[in-house]
Chains A and B, each alone.
Chain A
């Protein structure tokens, strides 16, 4: 039995090899890991710690307590009615703003996907020459600062803005439309435009990777164009679309600058509450607790979303 290798003697060099690979892997990762630890893990840890303290006037009380979290869920008999929904919380603002932010962010995400998918589809299937140039052209507006793009929407939607003066010049309206700016709708429109470029690229990549022979096969076997799209293109591009949706949804829930600039008092989101608690109400511990709770809720929503669409199955099919 010369072919049989003694496991003892053979595994040692293999272990060493694995160890070396492991080291090399982490060695390559270490710059990124260092940045993540310094810029993300440590601040988040500080935030978690802060959320267990309490603010007492100008002083920070460092006795660990769950009071901040308790404040977010404490109930009362007198409901605060918001949009016809009674909230039985004694401090209903975070819960209400959380729901509002999720709804606004979901609307923005749906709008982004609806805008980005056709663009990505066009790029992947209809453009044959100079694809890189097309991609650059699509991303050009996004080379300007995020803040400037938000400001641009303020000008577009404003009282004497582009839409109003355009409609006035055409004689369609004589009084400027007032419902354009300073409301949740303005925030959703601005968010949708600001994030669309980030959605086009992942969708484009997953569409680009689809094996064209599958489409030919589907046509040969008698599928109509619509059926072919629904049975082949859409499922195979799902991973990119899901990634794009998450890429838009997660950061927009906590967005702060867009509602500040175009939202008015009615367009506030949970990020504004966190800012308000930290910077105006001088209650950083409560602000930290709201921020942590917001992170957990977003994580939960994302997990439920991925489970509901069967993300594991989609990934497996791609593999």
Chain B
């Protein structure tokens, strides 16, 4: 019997240090005592948005590895970044054009070798070179999904003159207190400043006293008017479906999902403008898994099949041009637009703030929320 032999040997003092460590390792002691030996089959760890952890979006990866990667879901890029900086070992992260620089500046992003991605040549050329995909001359994000952030509202629960001339001002209007939901980030302040007449190009880089003033005026109003500040898109979708809220800051998926349920909803083009974002996969240098697995995961995201699932399932655009050839034409028509370049020309594309600006926004927004009662 192995066990008795082991004990006998140990008592007789015949056990070598190596055997002792091996036994201890079986109980996990080794992870504390020994330097970590390299393990071949470390599972890929991805930081993802809620909902994007569905295998529909990386089926090719599942087919190759026979299993899903590990996911850690975040509510906003700043949360994910803080988690990585605190020592969370992730291999892949899903930032957006305006936030990827934060990961590069923090020194956790790695350059992507696009020749290792089989679908790279099918990506819209405009996206391949867009700011955010390329940062400081290096490709740091493989663009995957794109879409809008705008005002979604229930036309049946709002007066008709609002539907004719929709405005972001509804989030700062005392009259709609408790019936709208802003997103839980500094966009509440930026959009407020835009409602106040400031162009986005100035509002996104507010700093110092001007930022404090904007936060005090617009941030406070948004926090007080909102029923809740949403961090999870299913939460805001349910609230909007039930009529608890009549307007929300939303992404395309909210509109697609509610229409599928038969709830009347309009994805407005407010007079202050609607926003466009594009997001993608960034390789992190904190991961422990094999780099090839990370590339396979990214490549799976760029595949036209993923694009089809994304267009039909969520109403988002995809970076691969071929996705639009195989997706259901009706879903594409519902989405309204097939060309990211045309969309970007027509809307406000999110911009990348400097680190100092982003940190200022993080602090001011946190303080504004805390002061509500």
Contact = CB atoms under 8 A, between A and B. Distances in A.
Given A58-B105, A159-B244, A184-B373, A280 B366 contact: yes
A280 B362 contact: yes
A265 B223 contact: yes
Contacts of B359: 57, 281-282
B33 to A, nearest CB: 15
A279 interface: yes
B83 A265 contact: no
Interface in A177-194: 178, 182, 184
B362 to A, nearest CB: 5
Interface string B341-354: 00000000000000
How large, as a class, is the contact surface on chain A? Answer: 20 to 34
A278 interface: yes
B106 interface: yes
B357 to A, nearest CB: 12
A280 B244 contact: no
B363 A281 contact: yes
A182 B85 contact: no
Residue from B105, B359, B371 with most neighbouring chain A CB atoms (10 Å): B371
A96 B372 contact: no
> Closest 3 CB pairs between A and B?
A159-B244, A264-B228, A265-B372
Interface string A254-297: 00000000001110100011001111111110000000000000
Contacts of A143: none
A268 B82 contact: no
Contacts of A96: 370-371
B367 interface: yes
A279 B81 CA distance: 8
A280 B363 CA distance: 8
Contact of A280 (B79, B226, B239, B242): B79
B336 interface: no
Residue from B85, B363, B370 with most neighbouring chain A CB atoms (10 Å): B370
Contacts of A282: 78, 81-82, 85, 359, 362
26 contacts: A58-B107, A80-B371, A82-B373, A93-B366, A158-B244, A159-B244, A160-B242, A176-B244, A178-B178, A182-B228, A264-B229, A265-B226, A265-B228, A265-B369, A268-B370, A272-B370, A278-B82, A279-B79, A280-B79, A280-B82, A281-B359, A281-B362, A281-B366, A282-B81, A282-B359, A282-B362
A57 B223 contact: no
How large, as a class, is the contact surface on chain B? Answer: 20 to 34
Contacts of B105: 58
Given A160-B242, A279-B79, A282-B85, A97 B355 contact: no
Contacts of A159: 239, 242-244
A169 B243 CA distance: 18
B367 A264 contact: no
A261 to B, nearest CB: 10
Given A265-B223, A280-B76, A58 B371 contact: no
Contacts of B85: 58, 282
Nearest to A87: B371
Interface string A91-118: 1110011001000000000000000000
A279 B370 contact: no
Residue from B223, B226, B228, B355 with most neighbouring chain A CB atoms (10 Å): B228
Contact of A57 (B76, B244, B355, B367): B355
Residue from A97, A273, A276, A277 with most neighbouring chain B CB atoms (10 Å): A276
Nearest to A286: B363
Nearest to A92: B371
Contacts of B78: 280, 282
Interface string A64-106: 0000000000000000101100000001110011001000000
A244 B227 CA distance: 35
B82 A83 contact: no
A93 B106 contact: no
A266 B226 CA distance: 10
